[in-house]
Structure 1
């Protein structure tokens, strides 16, 4: 898997579109951001996607569009990090560097509509429906094209995204400013700690120490950047892990609750219903009956 520089990606000032294949046991697991727009198709692997204030599941067949400088991480599930695991992850990504087009973005008439769309579109989007199918076909062939064909295909993909009415915005809170490198690294350390330790008891003192902040300063820092309190975010992480186990295993609900870090079954039931809109039992029954993908 190609390594991504912390909080940036390798950048060429002359490359408008770059195609990248991420193939390995797990996806890059550090929170990062970059000025390029990103379009990612997940072909293999599953886990939790954290981007801005959004936390949700990803899996094969999912496609996501990120506008510039959206902090994000595709955190593969724990089994993908186990030394003996034979699980694999595979994703196809396009990075669009609009700055590489220079003045043409604002001076060339044909780019006016695209420029307006870019200025109005901010956040992380799930790409759905027929447009996703069109773009998926282009991505699967993208490594085989070069030169002008590469440029035309990239512009065609952007046109499909621009006219699509099936871009589903995942963020509720759109950041008013980009993370500094220091803020990004701090948030990355916090998210890595939470996502890897969520099955254990985590105190506010512990997570504040990871951020090298006082409890009060950490609470402000975390709420401003995620729109959630630490307790709310941790409950959401644990509920998403419980969703996976409810769908993929036959473990009793009580065992799943404790395995995901809930020390109290009644609290687990309340938190699950608040986040998912149904009880754990109802969720398990629904996905078993309909074969519904939970993420």
Structure 2
């Protein structure tokens, strides 16, 4: 089952989209689009899937996502069946990266925001006081016009650029293999893992490539990634497996080996440990969102 590309209508005299979704339940399928997107739930409950992450939403839930990231919000059954006491309601903001011109993100003032945009490729749940402030702004934006509307978006950008109140959603392995630019040691380690996770990467090998002794590398990795190298590698592989399950018509055995696991039993064990469900259950969940 593949995600579909879905677009929201944009007014000809607006540089970005502010859209209110309201009804018995959210009708969107498993989809993606080329815009960055902020999704605020103002009413209803249910389950959201962002990449390979499955979580739950309630009122005031706020998520920021980058272009191309597959996602869906599924309301609880009482909304779908018309038994809820309230309607599903949410506010969506969408914008393309260059909506204010080619050089928009190249000016010095945008440096911190650029880093947030990079993190958005995973999807970010915004939390705490940052969430409260952004939600208050977003609730007013559907009635705003002109410079007031644009100014409100820049206020949101400011809050995103300076917050640490967030949780990343999609795992590194689910996000497309790409090119990680950077000269620091962590960036080089991440790039090597992302380019080679489907092969047999040994701890001595990656430690040597990082110009560190094994013990030094393990301590460095734990401090910078907040997990062990093996746990991180398994998370990347399982994330990529989720992508294959959602997008390709392959059986579980093929997917396990394509992601770098040497046997099916270990793949199933690691998948359940990380995703709290089996690969088969994950496929059913994805199919149910179609």
State the TM bucket, normalised to the shorter chain: 0.5 to 0.7
Does the C-alpha gap of structure 1 residues 120 and 64 become closer, same or farther in structure 2, counting only changes over 3 Å?
Answer: closer
Does the C-alpha gap of structure 1 residues 221 and 79 become closer, same or farther in structure 2, counting only changes over 3 Å?
Answer: farther
Partner of 2:90: 91
- How many corresponding residue pairs? 203
RMSD of aligned C-alpha atoms?
3.7
Q: Distance in 2 between matches of 1:40 and 1:56?
A: 14
TM-aligned CA deviation for residue 213 of structure 1: 3.3
Does the C-alpha gap of structure 1 residues 217 and 7 become closer, same or farther in structure 2, counting only changes over 3 Å?
Answer: farther
SS class of match (1:19): strand
Whether 1:10 aligns to 2:56 is no
Q: Distance in 2 between matches of 1:165 and 1:107?
A: 23
Contact 2:65 2:120 in 1 (8 A): no
TM-aligned CA deviation for residue 18 of structure 1: 1.2
Does the C-alpha gap of structure 1 residues 144 and 32 become closer, same or farther in structure 2, counting only changes over 3 Å?
Answer: same
Q: Distance in 2 between matches of 1:75 and 1:222?
A: 30
TM-aligned CA deviation for residue 57 of structure 1: 0.9
Structure 1: give runs of 5+ residues left out of the alignment.
179-209, 240-295
Q: Distance in 2 between matches of 1:62 and 1:105?
A: 28
Does the C-alpha gap of structure 1 residues 84 and 149 become closer, same or farther in structure 2, counting only changes over 3 Å?
Answer: closer
Partner of 2:142: 143
Does the C-alpha gap of structure 1 residues 140 and 153 become closer, same or farther in structure 2, counting only changes over 3 Å?
Answer: same
Partner of 2:278: 232
Deviates more, 1:53-62 or 1:97-106: 97-106
Partner of 1:263: none
Alignment of 1:165-244 (within 5 A): 165-173=164-172, 174-177=174-177, 213=249, 215=251, 219=255, 228=271, 232-233=278-279
Contact 2:21 2:90 in 1 (8 A): yes
Partner of 2:19: 20
| TM-score of the two chains, using structure 2 as the length reference | 0.59
| TM-score of the two chains, using structure 1 as the length reference | 0.58
TM-aligned CA deviation for residue 106 of structure 1: 4.4
TM-aligned CA deviation for residue 212 of structure 1: 8.5
Contact 2:122 2:168 in 1 (8 A): yes
Alignment of 1:91-130 (within 5 A): 91-130=90-129
Does the C-alpha gap of structure 1 residues 211 and 71 become closer, same or farther in structure 2, counting only changes over 3 Å?
Answer: closer
TM-aligned CA deviation for residue 10 of structure 1: 3.3
SS class of match (2:32): coil
Q: Distance in 2 between matches of 1:228 and 1:15?
A: 44
TM-aligned CA deviation for residue 24 of structure 1: 0.6
Q: Distance in 2 between matches of 1:28 and 1:11?
A: 16
Contact 1:8 1:33 in 2 (8 A): yes
Contact 1:16 1:98 in 2 (8 A): no
Contact 1:29 1:76 in 2 (8 A): no
